[in-house]
């Protein structure tokens, strides 16, 4: 008898707020097939619930999301994984209710695509971010419409080209996150933001979000498949394979 895999993403709904929790600490909430599938399903459920006014996306553990699941890169077709991340970002951008994402700890690479696709992001000042693709012979291809669309041009160039860690406070300065607050004030500020959004009428929230995200969605639709092809080509290159093998060896 096959054992059912433990759920990696949880959904709770109360008082008009759908709280979705990424809970895959064993791989730092990496974007595995299971995690992406469950997250997409819970987003659909929340978006279809007439009682939900806002989605709050949080994480368990010390890492918000470490990006692509590199350990599964050999078993999951490259194009398939890239398309799934494109679809997830589009779902967040086009969901009928606002998505407020809370970042504690680290957000890396593809995880920053989730951050950028969210409508409002509240981060701890000491949270850390990094677009690490350049270090692995890659580029932030499939997340670039949302990430570069949110960030200031200079902030995007600096962080994407150097691949180094930057803080929640810097992420707010660069436009990637909405608010950066001291960690001990994070819960209070998140509750304030979510509470204010939850007072909106569904039609008003839906139509206003549509106006705000129309450009990002159009860009993702226009260039998504080309970016999938670019991502797959880079992941399949000898340079990237060597860099990823070395990276995974250092982690062991």
Q: How confident is the model at residue 1 (pLDDT cuts 50, 70, 90)?
A: very low
CB 21, CB 9: distance < 8 Å: yes
The pLDDT score that the predictor gives to residue 114 is 98
Superfamily of domain 9-183: 2-enoyl-CoA Hydratase; Chain A, domain 1 (3.90.226.10)
Q: Of 127, 199, 122, 117, whose CA–CA distance to 151 is shortest?
A: 117
Q: SS3 for 252?
A: coil
The pLDDT score that the predictor gives to residue 201 is 97
Average pLDDT for residues 60-74, to the nearest whole number? 81
Q: SS3 for 66?
A: coil
Angle between helices 110-117 and 78-94 (to 10 degrees): 20
Residue 163 has pLDDT above 60, yes or no: yes
> Where do the structural domains in the chain lie, given as residue ranges?
9-183
CB 55, CB 100: distance < 8 Å: yes
Residue 61 has pLDDT above 90, yes or no: no
Q: Of 52, 128, 197, whose CA–CA distance to 189 is shortest?
A: 197
- What is the distance in angstroms between the CA of the first residue and the CA of the last residue of the chain? 32
Cα–Cα–Cα angle for 89, 94, 98, nearest 5°?
95
The C-alpha atoms of residue 109 and residue 165 are separated, in whole angstroms, by 11
Q: What is the pLDDT of the chain when averaged over all its residues?
A: 94
Task: Look at 12-26, 33-47, 69-83 and tell me which has the smallest mean pLDDT.
Answer: 69-83
Provide the phi-psi class of 61: left if phi over 0, else alpha when psi is between -120 and 50, else beta: left
CB 180, CB 171: distance < 8 Å: yes
> pLDDT tens digits for 192-214?
999 999 999 999 999 999 999 99
Q: How confident is the model at residue 250 (pLDDT cuts 50, 70, 90)?
A: confident
Stated pTM of the model: 0.94
The C-alpha atoms of residue 218 and residue 216 are separated, in whole angstroms, by 5
Residue 3 has pLDDT above 70, yes or no: no
């Amino acid at each position: 008898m096959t054992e059912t895999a433990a759920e990696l993403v949880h959904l709770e709904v109360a008082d008009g707020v759908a709280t979705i929790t990424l809970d895959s600490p064993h791989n730092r909430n990496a974007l595995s097939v299971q995690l992406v599938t469950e997250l997409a399903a819970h987003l659909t459920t929340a978006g279809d619930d007439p009682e939900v006014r806002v989605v709050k996306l949080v994480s368990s553990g010390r890492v918000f999301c470490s990006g692509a699941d590199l350990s599964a890169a050999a078993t999951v077709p490259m194009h398939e994984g890239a398309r799934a991340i494109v679809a997830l970002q589009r779902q967040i951008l086009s969901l009928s209710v606002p998505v407020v994402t809370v970042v504690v700890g680290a957000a890396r690479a593809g995880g920053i695509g989730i951050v950028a696709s969210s409508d409002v992001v509240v981060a701890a000042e000491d949270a850390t971010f990094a677009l690490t693709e350049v270090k692995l012979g890659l580029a932030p291809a499939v997340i670039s419409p949302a990430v570069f669309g949110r960030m200031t041009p200079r902030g995007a160039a600096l962080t994407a080209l150097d691949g180094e860690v930057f803080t929640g406070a810097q992420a707010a300065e660069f436009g990637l996150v909405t608010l950066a607050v001291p960690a001990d004030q994070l819960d209070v500020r998140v509750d304030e933001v979510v509470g204010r959004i939850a007072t909106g009428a569904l039609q008003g929230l839906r139509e206003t979000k549509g106006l705000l995200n129309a450009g990002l969605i159009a860009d993702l639709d226009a260039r998504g498949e080309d970016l999938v092809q670019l991502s797959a080509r880079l992941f399949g290159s000898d340079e990237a394979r060597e860099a990823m093998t070395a990276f995974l060896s250092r982690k062991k």
